[in-house]
Structure 1
Amino acid sequence: MSDELIQVEIDGHVTWLTLNRPDRLNALSDDLLEQLGDVLDATVNTDARVVVIRGAGRAFCAGYDVAPDSAEVGYAAERTPVEDRDRLLGNIELFTRIWRHPQPVIAAVHGHCVAGGAQLASMCDVTIVADDANIMTSPALPLGGGYLSPLWVHRVGGQRAKLMSMDAGRRITGAKAAEWGWAAEAVPADELHDFVRRTAHSIARTPGPLLRLKKEAVNRAVELEGLLTYARTGAETDALLHLTPEVRHVQSRIKEVGLKAAIVEFNADFDAEFGSVRGAR
């Protein structure tokens, strides 16, 4: 694998962008997000008509990097509420650049697609998933709230967005995500690459300026429903919750015992009474 956090592959009129932190399941670090923004900017004045975002290795994206050895664990605690809100808004603004990118952007989702990964995919124009993908809007621990779920409202409705947000660690398969309308299509995992490539090249038959105007027409309709406004609002809610004793406690446990052990602790009482909470539902 390349040392680049975003790999770029030119395939005729289709540009493939691969999130390249497979050892961390492509968790979103500051450096990865910065490179993604730079690469997106670089594709604007090219012959590309369609951009595809995918993940290297076993996952599309495991969300924001909250492992104990990442800078993200203490981020909220180390900043003022306004600084934390601005940091979160910066991520929203990056994903908004995907939404407003002049070329259609397809998310090709396989394996794990968690929290920030689902946030990223939700801002792409078309999301195509492996039917066995593991998709979660909220992390397996209560680390914040309201940051990710608003982007699901315009795809699956308020009720399902609340369910995915309020039930920490709730996950659905790619097949269920397509059934709900979060994904455009679900296909067998071993067919995902070929299906996405065929779809991307089929879209790319249409000249770039026409695709741009088609995308803008649909985007305008969705934006009139408030998509970008409530996406930004989620940053304020999350920044507020990062200050609560409950979230501070979870952050401290991650630092002390590690992410996996903290998840086991959080689920222990539930698992003892009802059986494991993990697994697609």
Structure 2
Amino acid sequence: MSYETITFDLTDRVATLAIDRPTRMNALTPRVFAELTAAIDDALAQGARAIVLTGTGAAFCSGADLIGDGGEKLPDDLGLTLDASYNPFVRKVAALDVPFLTAINGPAVGAGLGLALLGDISVMGRSAYLLLAFVNIGLVPDAGATWLVAKGVGRAKALEMALLGEKVGADEAHGAGLVTRIADDGMVLHEAQRLAAKLAAGPSVAIGMIRKQVAAALSMDLEQSLAVERENQTRAGYTRDFAEAVQAFGEKRKPVFEGR
């Protein structure tokens, strides 16, 4: 499948998707979301066991394209755009059964910050920054950014970021728990792909359940979390990957996981 606003690569079961609108700092339009969604489906159909999202050029993503034209122009009712493009994509990523990583190669602004923080593992370039910029243009956070930031840093820091609309550099973002790792600017995608390859070679069924189990735990009490753990452990215990791990342990070798 050919794409106009993104690039797609699948190598060794790792799919790398890049928003490819560098002259617009990879600003988001309905077409971008449609193509990212199609690319995820394409990747999974071809056997991808990990997905990496990044941007081309100097930016990760500058958020919504405020000056789009034609069918890409923002409607008067911005909630319609969220219903049609933003929210379905965030839900799709959250529901994935494979790990989703982000390579934050440059500024991640507005909804672009939301996409950046969707990563189960996020690698941020040293000169990149996060900017919850909505207040600067009279809007409120979207693309899941409210939940992602608040869960990551707590109420006080989330309000500071949302109300002041100031840049958060890589060191501060990492220290606050917003991103997983920092890498030299030229190595961001490489590091994210390296981690993705490790995950793609892992026990995919268990990995898929782990990412959802952690997300669920954020809104559960202990008893509810214990119940989810029990249910998922039952399923994991019947996988071929667990049987292989047990056999490999007895044979004193590394397991070779099939993702089943």
For 1:1-281, list aligned pairs within 5 A. 4-67=4-67, 75-76=75-76, 79=77, 84-90=78-84, 91-139=86-134, 141-147=136-142, 148-168=145-165, 170-224=166-220
Secondary structure (helix, strand or coil) at the match of 1:48 reads: coil
| Cα distance change, pair 223–105 in 1 and its aligned pair in 2 (3 A) | farther
Q: Distance in 2 between the 1:190 and 1:21 partners?
A: 19
Give aligned pairs, total: 217
Unaligned runs of 5+ in 1: 226-281
What is the TM-score when the length of structure 2 is the normalising length? 0.76
Q: Which amino acid aligns with 1:144?
A: L
What is the TM-score when the length of structure 1 is the normalising length? 0.71
Q: What's the % identity of the aligned pairs? A: 22
Q: Distance in 1 between the 2:128 and 2:70 partners?
A: 25
| Cα distance change, pair 56–70 in 1 and its aligned pair in 2 (3 A) | farther
Unaligned runs of 5+ in 2: 222-260
Secondary structure (helix, strand or coil) at the match of 2:119 reads: coil
TM superposition shift of 1:109 = 0.2
TM superposition shift of 1:44 = 2.5
| Cα distance change, pair 173–71 in 1 and its aligned pair in 2 (3 A) | farther
Shifted more, 108-117 versus 131-140: the winner is 131-140
Q: Which amino acid aligns with 1:208?
A: S
Q: Distance in 1 between the 2:170 and 2:43 partners?
A: 28
TM superposition shift of 1:23 = 1.1
Where relative contact order (Cα < 8 A, 6+ residues apart) is larger, the structure is 1
Secondary structure (helix, strand or coil) at the match of 1:135 reads: strand
Write the deviation string for residues 111-158 of structure 1: whole angstroms up to 9, x where unpaired: 111001011122222211012102101247333124333321011111
Q: Which amino acid aligns with 1:141?
A: N
| Cα distance change, pair 50–68 in 1 and its aligned pair in 2 (3 A) | closer
Aligned alpha-carbon RMSD (Å): 2.2
Contact 1:130 1:175 in 2 (8 A): no
TM superposition shift of 1:69 = 5.2
Secondary structure (helix, strand or coil) at the match of 2:4 reads: coil
